[in-house]
Structure 1
Amino acid sequence: MNLVFDGHNDVLLRLWRGRHAGSDPVVEFSEGAREGHIDGPRARAGGLAGGLCAIYIPSMKEFALQEAGPDGHYNTPMEAPLQRGSSLDIALDMAAIALRLARAGAWRLCRSTGEIRDAMRDGVFAAVLHMEGCEAIDAELAALEVFHAAGLRSLGPVWSRHNIFGHGVPFAYPMSPDTGPGLTDVGFDLVRACNRLGIVIDLAHITEKGFWDVAKTSDQPLVASHSNAHALTPVARNLTDRQLDAIRERKGLVGLNYAVTMLRPDARDNPDTPLSDMVRHIDYLVARMGIDCVALGSDFDGATIPAAIGDASGNQALIEALSDAGYDEDALAKICRENWLRIFASAWHE
């Protein structure tokens, strides 16, 4: 079994919602859950040895993709910006859940590549705190320092909505990622602070202009934790060839997103999506950037994924499909975990 370190999941959001519905996050993760994609038993069954676990602030109303029209096209309206106070409350609540899981031994909260490797060796889920959209962070970046001390080691300045740091891309098909402005002045400050602290900057949801703003400001490899190839599936969330070339030049990384809307040629939200669509995107990314720049970023617990995988327990189905497509053990090790660990070592000043 090829152990996988996954570049993006929303398990903390699911556990946070469950806690507010009366469940115990530690029990739900440790003993298994009826809902969602990730818990301890299913992760072990599928070789999911760890991942970037997102602090994501949901809006007041449930987000849903706009239903596609007769031609299959859609353009989901952007969500309104969120208030910082309530966002900070939720972010702290999710961080507390992550810390509770670590204290209970349900997973290990990792702050270095050595800790990740130790957890994987010990068969304990290696969780790394990520922030998907920085609505909880103030313009003076004081909260960033506190979250970093609590274990935050990766962040995306924006989700697919705007905030004080920059602008996000909508969920739309077909559409270019060049949908609006990029970083704000405080967004540039955030990037420089992440470079200083050793926090990975994730470009998964930012506009194309924001992508180039980060590229000219950051000293890190360029990373898009859960995005695919725009040339194959032209949704606004996917990356153009020019962006992929920049990631290659900076020795960065793209994590394959399992979301079917970002894999299928028609971008429909249909779980009956073959694994061949996932392999097709991996093939394209490898051909464009090289094997050292491609990894996995499932979006477990945050998207509709192919039924052939189902949840974390089915993760090896993709690895087997890649093996059948000709990827040898060295290539699979890089895609499954080693490329992520290389990025972390660089960004975390190890």
Structure 2
Amino acid sequence: MIPVFDGHNDFLQRMVDAGPARDSLWLKGDGTGHLDLPRMREGGLAGGFFAIWTPSPASEDDSLAAMLKGNPPFALPLPAEVSNADSLPRALAQAGQLMAMERTGTLAICRSAADIHAAMAAGKIAAILHIEGAEPIANMDALHVWHAMGLRSLGPVWSRPTRYGHGVPFAFPGSPDTGDGLTDAGKDLVRECNQLRIMLDLSHLNEKGFDDIAVLSDAPLVASHSCAHAVAPSTRNLTDRQLQVIAESKGLVGLNYAVGFLHPDGRRDPMHGFEVILRHLDHLLKFLGEDGVALGSDYDGAQMPEDLSDASKVQNIVQAMLDHGYGEELTTKIAHRNWIGVLERTWGG
């Protein structure tokens, strides 16, 4: 198998929800969700970004769930901002779950590219602590605390506002050019992340915020789990102009497997085969080149295609790339080497 390093999963909240059964959920699985240790090993999923995320209040979650069951056109207003007081306990609980997974001896929280290489060589899952939506970070002092805890990747927003910027709303068809750019606090956050060498994740950020980070940041621009707007005009997908800006920074985009972001008309019907996925990959490669495209599944956070229904199926996309004519070298780059490369350029060594 060609190992796969993945740009985004939402497994940690499942660990929180499992309570006393959390170790069993990770080590054995429970037959639900998309990801656990046995299925990662079966599919050759060697590591990835484990996201900390705070859900919106239940009423707004219900509205989002109802929208996601339907088909386009749709446009959902941005949820209200979640306070630091509400988000911080949830975030700490999820971080604690990742540390508990590390204590089982099967996973290593990686703070450098060398750590990733070492974990993969030892047969451990190479995990990066990521925050999706910076609500748990009250100020720059708190950012330093999170960095000391192992934070190495940060998305300033999910699809709602924070004190740092504005997320893009869920809409199809639609443009990511919605709302204002980064706040002054958001610009300070970018500068401090650059100083700490924390990767900034552009997925979920609106276009003006994207442009602000492109101007301010001295690191490669990265969207961990996004698709091509030219193929599927979701607000969550990246326009050709944005892809060109990422390419000029020697950055990277991780392809999101979510059906609603892949499908050219935004439908959330079951998806079979890899024709649409390969259209997105071909388009991303056209703009980003062979070193700028990777994978970012969104496992445990979205509806998956039937042939990528959980982590055990990851080699299906590897085989699809080989069958499409990418060749072993390019397929290996997309599968894991490009993620490690952009992290080396971002983190240093």
**C-alpha contact 1:169 1:207 (8 A) present in aligned 2:** yes
Structure 1 residue 18: Cα displacement: 2.2
Match in the other structure for 1:50? 47
Letter in 2 for 1:321: A
Match in the other structure for 2:65? 64
User: Which moved further from structure 2: 2-11 or 268-277?
Assistant: 268-277
In structure 2, relative to structure 1, the CA distance for the partners of 1:135 and 1:324 (3 Å cut) is: same
**C-alpha contact 2:5 2:45 (8 A) present in aligned 1:** yes
Letter in 2 for 1:195: N
Give 3-state SS (helix, strand or coil) of 1:38's partner.
coil
Question: In the aligned structure 1, how far is the partner of 2:78 from the partner of 2:119?
Answer: 39
In structure 2, relative to structure 1, the CA distance for the partners of 1:17 and 1:69 (3 Å cut) is: closer
Question: In the aligned structure 1, how far is the partner of 2:22 from the partner of 2:183?
Answer: 36
**C-alpha contact 1:52 1:127 (8 A) present in aligned 2:** yes
Match in the other structure for 2:123? 123
Match in the other structure for 2:201? 202
Structure 1 residue 69: Cα displacement: 7.2
Match in the other structure for 2:22? 25
Question: In the aligned structure 2, how far is the partner of 1:76 from the partner of 1:273?
Answer: 27
Give 3-state SS (helix, strand or coil) of 1:288's partner.
helix
Give the number of the structure whose residues are more often helix, by fraction.
Answer: 2
* CA RMSD of superposed structures (Å): 1.3
In structure 2, relative to structure 1, the CA distance for the partners of 1:343 and 1:80 (3 Å cut) is: same
Match in the other structure for 1:8? 8
Match in the other structure for 1:220? 219
Structure 1 residue 24: Cα displacement: 2.5
1:175-196 CA distance string (max 9 Å, x none): 0000111100000000001000
**C-alpha contact 2:34 2:309 (8 A) present in aligned 1:** yes
Give 3-state SS (helix, strand or coil) of 2:2's partner.
coil
Q: Superposition pairs for residues 288-299 of structure 1, below 5 Å?
A: 288-299=287-298
Question: In the aligned structure 2, how far is the partner of 1:199 from the partner of 1:335?
Answer: 22
Give yes or no for the alignment of 1:155 onto 2:154. Answer: yes
Q: Superposition pairs for residues 1-350 of structure 1, below 5 Å?
A: 1-19=1-19, 23-61=20-58, 62=61, 63-64=64-65, 66=67, 72-138=72-138, 140-350=139-349
In structure 2, relative to structure 1, the CA distance for the partners of 1:68 and 1:107 (3 Å cut) is: closer
User: Which moved further from structure 2: 61-70 or 155-164?
Assistant: 61-70
**C-alpha contact 1:220 1:347 (8 A) present in aligned 2:** yes
Structure 1 residue 67: Cα displacement: 5.6
**C-alpha contact 1:26 1:106 (8 A) present in aligned 2:** no
Question: In the aligned structure 1, how far is the partner of 2:293 from the partner of 2:232?
Answer: 17
**C-alpha contact 1:29 1:106 (8 A) present in aligned 2:** no
Structure 1 residue 174: Cα displacement: 0.4
User: Which moved further from structure 2: 60-69 or 189-198?
Assistant: 60-69
Structure 1 residue 273: Cα displacement: 4.1
Which TM-score applies when normalising by structure 2? 0.96
Give 3-state SS (helix, strand or coil) of 1:332's partner.
helix
Letter in 2 for 1:64: A
Give 3-state SS (helix, strand or coil) of 2:67's partner.
coil
Runs of 4+ with deviation above 6 angstroms:
none
1:56-101 CA distance string (max 9 Å, x none): 011221342516878x311122211101112011111111111111
Give 3-state SS (helix, strand or coil) of 1:130's partner.
strand
1:148-177 CA distance string (max 9 Å, x none): 111110010000000100000011100000
**C-alpha contact 2:70 2:268 (8 A) present in aligned 1:** no
Which TM-score applies when normalising by structure 1? 0.96
User: Which moved further from structure 2: 27-36 or 270-279?
Assistant: 270-279
Give 3-state SS (helix, strand or coil) of 1:66's partner.
helix
Question: In the aligned structure 2, how far is the partner of 1:36 from the partner of 1:69?
Answer: 21
In structure 2, relative to structure 1, the CA distance for the partners of 1:49 and 1:124 (3 Å cut) is: same
**Gapped regions of structure 2 (runs ≥ 5):** none
Give 3-state SS (helix, strand or coil) of 1:316's partner.
helix
In structure 2, relative to structure 1, the CA distance for the partners of 1:77 and 1:84 (3 Å cut) is: same
1:189-234 CA distance string (max 9 Å, x none): 0000100001000000001000000000000000000001000000
**C-alpha contact 1:65 1:171 (8 A) present in aligned 2:** no
Question: In the aligned structure 2, how far is the partner of 1:29 from the partner of 1:60?
Answer: 27
User: Which moved further from structure 2: 75-84 or 253-262?
Assistant: 75-84
Question: In the aligned structure 1, how far is the partner of 2:190 from the partner of 2:47?
Answer: 25
Aligned length: 345
Question: In the aligned structure 2, how far is the partner of 1:68 from the partner of 1:15?
Answer: 25
Give 3-state SS (helix, strand or coil) of 2:23's partner.
helix
Give 3-state SS (helix, strand or coil) of 1:285's partner.
helix
1:229-274 CA distance string (max 9 Å, x none): 0000000000000000011111000000000001111111123343
Question: In the aligned structure 2, how far is the partner of 1:102 from the partner of 1:25?
Answer: 13
Letter in 2 for 1:48: L
Give 3-state SS (helix, strand or coil) of 2:54's partner.
coil
Question: In the aligned structure 1, how far is the partner of 2:70 from the partner of 2:313?
Answer: 32
